[in-house]
Amino acid sequence: MSAPTVRRRRLGAKFRALRGDLTLEEVSERSGGKFIPSKLSRIETARSAAQAKDVNALLDLYAEIGRDVSEELRAALLTLTKEGSQRGWWQSYRGVLTPLYEDMISLEAEAESVSSWQLGVIPGLLQTAEYAREMIRSTAMSEAIEAKVDALVEVRLARQAVLTREDPLTLWAIIAEQVLRSTSEIDGLMHEQLGRLTAVGRRPNVNVQVLPVDAPLHVGQLGSFMILGFGPHADLDVVHTEGLTSTVYVEESDKVAAHRDAWQRLSAAALSVEASADLITEIRKST
């Protein structure tokens, strides 16, 4: 199986950066003809999935010509390559998930951190089954999605394993207060959901902040987003945004940096983690 498109583009962009001012022909020549220009181009433009042996060989070549190729970078790029060829649990839901959703789950499974801002819903990694079910139902824009609700709930809950795995993902979620005050016709739904938010928020790898409803106008009003972080190599980070009928990945380093700056502003404007937990508990009492 070929690596997901987003992962391939991130890998290709890194190799393009390592090539610098060398032409494809020059790299090919330095490789002794092992890499022909067309093969290099396909890797850099994500038209082909790179093999682990090619990644190692290219990194060896760039190291020889003076590029900065650390062991950490090599490990990160090999992860992008190898994970793309492995079968993930989500692939058993093929026919239920869109390719873009599969992309997001696979990136989430590999990420070291997620920094999330949610204007309208509880983040998927923190949802209860009933909350997830009602959100999927209420936002379904086609009968095809309505027919897959049970499977989509299973997927959403399975994604949450990244928070409790041996090397857990670090989640820092900022949530708009109005999300916590949502109502439902299902008795106890929000009470249970807020309870889960409080419980999971006690984990050492999870932080939850609430942006109060009376906060001044802020950049978060332009929409929700999630930053998937991959350790020391910020140039591999990806921003995920989702609308009613579309999903967008932001990969350009300057745009990812802009989202990170926006997230930092939102974090500064939000209540502290401790004060947020108190507010969630207070709101839960009235549900």
What is the tens place of the pLDDT at every residue in 122-172? 999 999 999 999 999 998 877 778 889 999 999 999 999 999 999 999 999
The whole-number pLDDT of residue 55 equals 95
Which CATH class name applies to 98-126+162-285?
Answer: alpha beta
5-85 CATH choice from 3.40.440.10, 3.40.190.10, 3.50.50.60, 1.10.260.40: 1.10.260.40
Residue range 179-204: mean pLDDT, rounded: 97
Whole-number mean pLDDT of the chain?
91
Residue range 76-101: mean pLDDT, rounded: 80
Specify the 3-state DSSP secondary structure of 58: helix
Q: Which residue has the tokens 């929700």?
A: 224
Contact predicate 169/105, CB 8 Å:
no
Quick: pLDDT tens for 32-67. Answer: 999 999 999 999 987 778 889 999 999 999 999 999
Percentage of residues in the chain with pLDDT exceeding 70? Answer: 96
Q: Is the pTM of this model over 0.95?
A: no
Query: Whose CA is closest to 95, among 148, 39, 170, 160?
Result: 148
Domain(s) of CATH 1.10.260.40: residues in the chain:
5-85
Q: Which residue has the tokens 């209860």?
A: 128
The whole-number pLDDT of residue 45 equals 84
Query: Whose CA is closest to 241, among 134, 92, 135, 118?
Result: 118
Domain(s) of CATH 3.30.870.10: residues in the chain:
98-126+162-285
The whole-number pLDDT of residue 84 equals 55
Residue range 80-107: mean pLDDT, rounded: 81
Q: Beta partners for 113?
A: 170, 229
Hey, what are 175's tokens?
């949530």
The whole-number pLDDT of residue 261 equals 97
Residue 83 pLDDT exceeds 70: no
The whole-number pLDDT of residue 85 equals 56
